[in-house]
Chains A and B, each alone.
Chain A
Amino acid sequence: MPSLKDLKNRIATVKSTQKITRAMQMVAAAKLRRAEDAAHQARPYTERFNAVMAGLASSVAGSDSAPRLLAGTGKDDTHLLVVMTAERGLCGGFNSSIVRLAKQRIEKLRAEGKTVKVITVGKKGREQLRRDYGDLLIDHVDLSGVNRVGYGDAQGIAKQVLDRFDAGEFDVATIFFNRFESVISQVPTAQQIIPAKFETEGDAAPATLYDYEPSEEEILADLLPKGVATQIFAALLENGASEQGARMSAMDNATRNAGDMIERLTIEYNRSRQAVITNELIEIISGAEAL
């Protein structure tokens, strides 16, 4: 049976923890609004871009002159996984769900006898993957100093990926991130970026016949690397919104749990206080009777 003083201390501790989690929840809520806004602002660009690329890709696909970024290297031996996680923890299952998906993929690819290389973005994913797959990690992108993810950050990652592709280090690249559905739901997603795949909305009506300036091939060669950056940027933004959403609900839970705990402890505290008082009364009364 803990003493009254112990109980009092514990209540104070839980209360201050609750203050922290509540503050974190509010910070996450504010950041979420910003992150969601950023993701929203970027959407028109990504959509238009993919629509144009899908049209271009379908007209070039199949021809021998198709760029390697679109057609692939013709092999499927080495896979590069870009695993994007958060720089910080305390956001529920956000990081582990991405890592779990990546691990499943790694195991699957290994079972098929493929070579796997991993680039991590964000500290948390690196920490979790290093335990089991330390030898696969070839690089790490640190975004901890970045307050607000910009297109420049995505370009930096894209450039690294493209340089490695040009150097023939891998055949297929896939990015892993959490797609933001809502505050309580983030879906871990794997998306192939090289060779490029463009989602067309259904079987869209035959695309308009465009004039191209300069030629189709040149435009495609110019745009494909940008497509990689665009997809990475979109993923980073989705990830940012997801992280804040996950943190917000995790901290909301924590605050509520702390509230429950305080309630329980307070009841226990009152009970033991009552017991002490009763005890003292009994002592006084029995002392008086003995006289």
Chain B
Amino acid sequence: MADSFQFDLVSPERRLASFQATEVQIPGTDGDMTAMAAHAPTITTLRPGVLRVMHDGQTDEYAVSGGFAEIGENGVSVLAERAVPRGEATTEVIQGWINEAHEAHVKARETFKNEPGPVDDAAKLLSDMVAMGTHIGLDTRQPSL
């Protein structure tokens, strides 16, 4: 059995998980990364995606909407803005997130007409959300732009 480390997943409203894990797959903004024991200390922001945690021979999955992860000497803490266990991630929940991202995108396009930066960010957030929905096998729809 591989070395394990402390894993915490917290959102502002509750603590979702806290146990010894052997491997964590994190959907980072710049790309996915897998953290195992003795990973170099890293802080990364998250994009909307699926977080996978391996522990005791099983795999837990959570849908997260963003936030950041801290890989430290003592373990991995994921601070998600919003997170739900995969089982609770119903079409309605994810579609709600997508709709919010969509509104943010529309608003960004109105506010920053000639600045691509914020608009692109909002668009990326939106497409990440949709991709996550599709990834976990939900029939989520991207509202027409």
Contacts and interface: CB of A to CB of B under 8 A. Distances in A.
Interface of A: 38, 41-42, 44-46, 48-49, 52, 56, 150-151, 154, 208-214, 218-219, 222-223, 226, 229-230, 233
B39 to A, nearest CB: 10
B79 A213 contact: no
Contact of B43 (A41, A210, A229): A210
A44 B10 contact: yes
A44 B6 CA distance: 14
13 contacts: A49-B79, A52-B68, A151-B11, A151-B81, A154-B12, A208-B73, A211-B41, A211-B43, A213-B30, A213-B33, A213-B42, A213-B44, A222-B68
A218 B42 CA distance: 14
B28 interface: yes
A212 B79 contact: no
What range describes how many residues of B lie at the interface? 20 to 34
Contacts of A212: 42-44
Contacts of A49: 79
B28 A213 contact: yes
Nearest to A233: B12
Interface string B57-99: 0000000000110101100010101100000000000000000
Given A41-B13, A42-B12, A52-B70, A226 B81 contact: yes
A83 B14 CA distance: 25
